Amino acid sequence: MNAEFLALAQMAVGGGLMGMAYALVAYGFQLTYAAGKAVNFGQGELVMLGAFTGLSLIGIGLPYWAAVPVAMVAGAALGWFVERAAVRLALQQRNEGWILLTIIVGLFGVSAAENIWGRDDKPFPVPWPEGALEFFGISVTWPELAIASGALGIMALVELAKRYTMLGIAVQAVSADPDAAELCGIRSKSAISLSWAVSGAAAAFAGTIIAPVTTVGPTMAAALTLKAFSVAVVAGLDSGFGLVLAGIALGSAENLSGFLLGSGWREAPGLILLILALALRPQGIFGKKIIRKV
């Protein structure tokens, strides 16, 4: 193995691990899409706000282990708020207003972050050890490992809860048919709210694991939303774990194109992939085709 190949492999692995975080944010899209056929165009802002909340909590002396769950609770509250304020009304009227409203709520989030925490990027302290592990000449840092294990862990946890708890099964029933679920005594609105809260918590958690690698700043939001969207759309908005594969692929592609084409082009492959995926296979690689009914 020559050095150049090793460098490329190093890039790909680093990107792939980061891609798991995109997969986690994309997983948030899946949760809300399944429950109410809507997604939060301000999901990146939730990630950013979650990271900032975590940072502030650590700043006032809370240990990392306590700060993360509290940030997740804050994220859940924000997710719930987005659903209540921006999505519910528009979905009742069956129009596309919710897209605009979620963008608007996100925009307010950015503005609030700029004024509360400032416009500059800040480092995020973590209790992981310094240094890196080496596998076959490829080094992996502890924060990167934390991203991979954290993202997979949360997704697995939510999936298990969805399948084996009464609440999770109720949410699945609502995503299959909200009216039928109501007739069976499930409160559809509450189930949808719950999905948005879980999605918000996942976003906030993603923030606390991404931030140690990328630093925290108000500008991180917009790019993250798009990347997560790419992952969700390429995998399919109803595909479950196809996300992880798509996330790894996107993260690697991003790092490699940044390395090969120049840093300005870093985000281009994800975007091109997104447009191509939407054009060729709107239901995603792992998604099911939708049948029109009349």
Partner 1 sequence: MLVRVNLGLREKTAERVMRLTLFFCLAALPLLWHGEYALGLLTLMAVYGVLLIGLDATVGYLGQINLAHAALFGLGAYGAALAIQSEVPLPLALLVGIAAALIPGAVLALPALRLEGPQFALSTLSFATLTVIFLNESESVTNGALGLSIIRPSLFTIVLNSTRFYWLCLLVLFVTWWASQLLLRSRFGLAIEALRDSPTATDALGIGTLRHKILAFAWGSALAGLAGALHAINFGYLQPAAFGYDLMVILLLGVVFGGRRNQWGAFAGAAVVTMLPNLLSNRTLFSSLVTFGCLLAIVSPIRTLLSRKMPSFRQTAPVAAMGGALALALFASNVEEWRKGIFALFLFAAVVGLPDGIAGALTAILRKVICFAPDPLPVATGGIQPAKNGAGLALQALNLCKSFGGVKAVDNVTLEIITGETHGLIGPNGSGKTTLVNLISGLYKADSGSVEISGVRPIPGSLMSACSAGSARTFQNLQPFSGLTALESIMVCQRYGGISEAMGWLHVVGLEAKARLRCSEMSYGDLRFLEIARALATRPYVLMLDEPAAGMSKPDIIRLVDLVTSIKRAGITILLIEHHQDVVAELCDRVSVMDGGQLIALGTSDQVRRNPKVIEAYLGSDETAIQAKSEIGAQLC
Query: Can you tell me the distance from the alpha carbon of 55 to that of 67, in angstroms, rounded to the nearest whole number?
Result: 8
CA distance 75 to 268: 29
Q: Is 44 helix (H, G, I), strand (E, B) or coil?
A: helix
CB 35 within 8 A of CB 195: yes
- The footprint of partner 1 on residues 36-75 (CB under 8 A) is 38-39, 41
24 touching partner 1, by CB under 8 A: no
DSSP one-letter string for 113-125: HHHHH-SS-B---
Least Å distance, CB 140 to partner 1, is: 29
Query: Rounded to the nearest 5°, which phi and psi values hold at 240?
Result: 70, -120
Q: How far is the CB of 177 from partner 1 (least distance, A)?
A: 17
* Nearest residue (CB) to partner 1, 104 versus 145: 104
Binding mask 111-130 for partner 1 (x = CB under 8 A): xx-xx---------------
Taking CB under 8 A as the criterion, the residue among 6, 7, 66, 89 binding partner 1 is 89
The distance of closest approach from Cβ of residue 278 to partner 1 in the complex, given in angstroms and rounded to an integer, is 5
Of the residues 70, 267, 286, 287, which one makes contact with partner 1 according to CB under 8 A? 267
Stretch that binds partner 1, among 12-20, 126-134, 195-203, 261-269 (CB under 8 A): 261-269
CA distances to 120, 224, 271, 281 from 229, in Å? 25, 8, 9, 15
Which among 227, 228, 235 is positioned nearest to 267, based on CA atoms? 227
User: Closest separation between CB of residue 170 and partner 1, Å?
Assistant: 24
Residues 211 to 230 in contact with partner 1, rule: CB under 8 A = 222, 226, 229-230
As measured in angstroms, the least distance from the Cβ of 115 to partner 1 is 6
Size of the site for partner 1 (CB under 8 A): 45
Q: CA nearest 42: which of 112, 89, 95?
A: 112
Please return the burial class of 104, using the count of CB atoms within 10 Å of its CB with bins 0-12, 13-18 and 19+: middle
- Residue 131 in the binding site for partner 1 (CB under 8 A): no
Beta bridge partners of 216: 122
User: Can you give the binding site for partner 1, defined by CB under 8 A?
Assistant: 38-39, 41, 85-86, 88-89, 95-97, 99-101, 103-105, 107-108, 110-112, 114-115, 222, 226, 229-230, 233, 262, 264-265, 267-268, 271-272, 274-275, 278-280, 282, 291-294
